[in-house]
Amino acid sequence: MKRSVVVILSLLAGAVSLIAQERPSANLVLTPPMGWNSWNKFGCNVSDDMIRQMADAMVKSGMKDAGYQYIVIDDCWQVSRDAAGNIVADPQRFPSGIEGLADYVHSLGLKFGIYSDAGSKTCAGRPGGLGHEYQDAIVYAAWGVDYLKYDWCNTTTQDARASYANIRAALDTAGRPIVLSICEWGKAQPWLWGKEVGGNLWRTTGDIQDRWAGKKEWKPGDCCSYGVVDIADAEADLYSYAGPGHWNDPDMLEVGNGGMTDVEYRSHFSLWAMLAAPLIAGNDLRNMRPEIRDILTNKEVIAVNQDPLGSQGRRVSKDGDREVWSKQLRDGSLAVILFNRGPAEQNIVATWETIGYPAHVTASVRDLWQHKDVGKITGKFSVSVPSHGVVMVTVKP
Ligand code: GLA
């Protein structure tokens, strides 16, 4: 190749990488985002007071120290648009405006997130973003928004990929680094294009509900909400699409909302950690039982979720109700869960060959819920697991 061509090509490559680096949203959420969102517990019952209390509780409970960062108001903060088309927050529920609330959240060292919708109306029937994308992005940036969850209700014939590319371009033009959470419920397979359009996470299914298992129609013909294990099954084969800055989102956590046992909540949290899922708590942080707080702040399990390699775990064996899932960690070790979906306690075996090591390897096994070293083990790890429970370990050669 001629020298002049090489020079031109390398200049072009430099320019392209500079543009890529200059996107204000580059390098966000290099590990899965952690935070809290109002929807699962409070639905439309959101207010300035409640959100401030939740931010305070995130600090007091030790969740901030454990890595939680984003406080996200979901649907129903907005009531109308003014004559100029600007979005208007509910003046009764948010008397100091969204900006005042964002300032408060920031003053605690936390980040602030908000919700809108790609269509004409949100899922709760509030004004959506359609046709106001650039106008809204400027307002969000001025308010200090760090995270936008963008829903998919009332989008009629809109193209999902184009709609999300449009809001990402609007956010980037507004100039503030804002995480884009694509909430399109997996309908147009956002894992195939979410990263390319600048999405940082994308929902893979319909909404989670606070139950162990079972897909349920919202109303006849309107599918569906899902239990924890249904969502885990839906994500099991999507591992190749996740990585630093772009994550599959199996929806927010239900830990602590009362519909499952503590054993089930521990499994829910462990599975989400293994899936490199966003850890967005969805319970009332002001009055958690210690058992719930201990689940949400288990630093050893969180470290698996936040491992900088950003690899999503996968199911490596299934024998009826007995499953083994394995997640590669940056230091060469693996996180493993032995997961009992059945109705009674049973023994589960993880052989080294199944999880990804040769059988002759001797490895240190550590239990991440007991916070105890199990010992040095060769070939396989075998353990009794309660019904609907997991044993979660790291295996380090
Ligand atoms: C959809 C989303 C939920 C929540 C509600 C709000 O159902 O999937 O996560 O944001 O809308 O109306």
Q: What is the pLDDT of residues 337-360, one digit of tens each?
A: 999 999 999 999 999 999 999 999
Distance between CA 377 and CA 370 in Å, rounded?
17
Per-residue confidence (pLDDT) for residue 324, from 0 to 100: 98
Q: Is 123 in the pocket of ligand 1 (CB under 6 A)?
A: yes
| Helix, strand, or coil (residue 315) | strand
Query: Is the minimum distance from the CB of 184 to ligand 1 under 6 angstroms?
Result: no
Nearest CA, atom 11, ligand 1: 123
- Where would I find the H helices in the chain? 3-22, 39-42, 48-60, 63-66, 97-107, 133-143, 160-174, 228-235, 262-274, 290-296, 299-305, 352-355
Q: How far is CA 80 from CA 89, 128, 131, 244, 288, in A?
A: 7, 9, 14, 36, 34
pLDDT per residue as tens digits for the range 122-147: 999 999 999 999 999 999 999 999 99
* 266 has pLDDT over 70: yes
The answer to whether the CB of 171 falls within 8 A of the CB of 197 is: no
Q: Which two tokens stand for residue 134?
A: 């650039």
216-219/222-225 β-pairing: antiparallel
The token duo for 347 is 């023994």
Answer for the pair 63, 108: CB distance below 8 angstroms, yes or no.
Answer: no
> Whose alpha carbon is nearest atom 5 of ligand 1?
123
Number of residues written out for the chain: 397
- Mean pLDDT computed over every residue of the chain: 95
Q: How does pLDDT run across 183-237, given as a tens digit for each residue? A: 999 999 999 999 999 999 999 999 999 999 999 998 898 888 999 999 999 999 9
pLDDT digits (tens, 9 = 90+) for 82-108: 999 999 999 999 999 999 999 999 999
Angle in degrees, 0-180, between the axes of helices 48-60 and 97-107, rounded to the nearest 10? 10
249 CB within 6 A, ligand 1: no
Q: In this structure, which residue's CA is closest to atom 8 in ligand 1?
A: 207
Residue range 25-39: average pLDDT?
97
Comparing CA positions, the residue from 254, 352, 271 lying closest to residue 305 is 271
Query: Ligand 1 centre from 40 Cα, in Å?
Result: 9
Q: How far is the CA of 102 from the centre of ligand 1 (A)?
A: 21
CA of 49 to the centre of ligand 1 (A): 22
Q: How far is the CA of 151 from the centre of ligand 1 (A)?
A: 7
Which tens digit of pLDDT belongs to each residue from 371-390? 999 999 999 999 999 999 99
* Other CB atoms within 10 Å distance of the CB of residue 18: 9
The alpha carbon of 251 and the centre of ligand 1 are apart by a number of angstroms equal to 10
Q: Which two tokens stand for residue 264?
A: 């089930």
Q: Give 352-355 contacts, CB < 8 A, sequence gap 24+.
A: 352/378, 352/379, 352/380, 352/395, 354/316, 354/317, 354/324, 354/326, 355/316, 355/324, 355/326, 355/395
Q: What are the residue numbers of the active site?
A: 151, 207
| Predicted TM-score (pTM) of this structure | 0.94
For residue 110, the model assigns a pLDDT of 99
So what's the pLDDT on residue 23?
83
Q: Which residue, among 368, 356, 357, 362, has the nearest Cα to 393 in the 3D structure?
A: 368
Judge if the beta carbon of residue 39 lies within 6 A of ligand 1: yes
Is residue 75 within 6 Å of ligand 1 at its C-beta? yes
CB 74 near ligand 1, within 6 Å: yes
Q: If you take atom 4 of ligand 1, which residue's CA is the nearest one?
A: 39
Q: What is the pLDDT of residue 218?
A: 87
**8 Å CB contact between 121 and 154:** yes
Provide, rounded to the nearest whole percent, the portion of the chain with pLDDT above 70: 94
E strands in 194-287: 201-203, 216-219, 222-225, 247-249, 279-281
At 283, list the tokens.
Answer: 């319970």
298 burial level (CB within 10 Å; 0-12, 13-18, 19+): buried
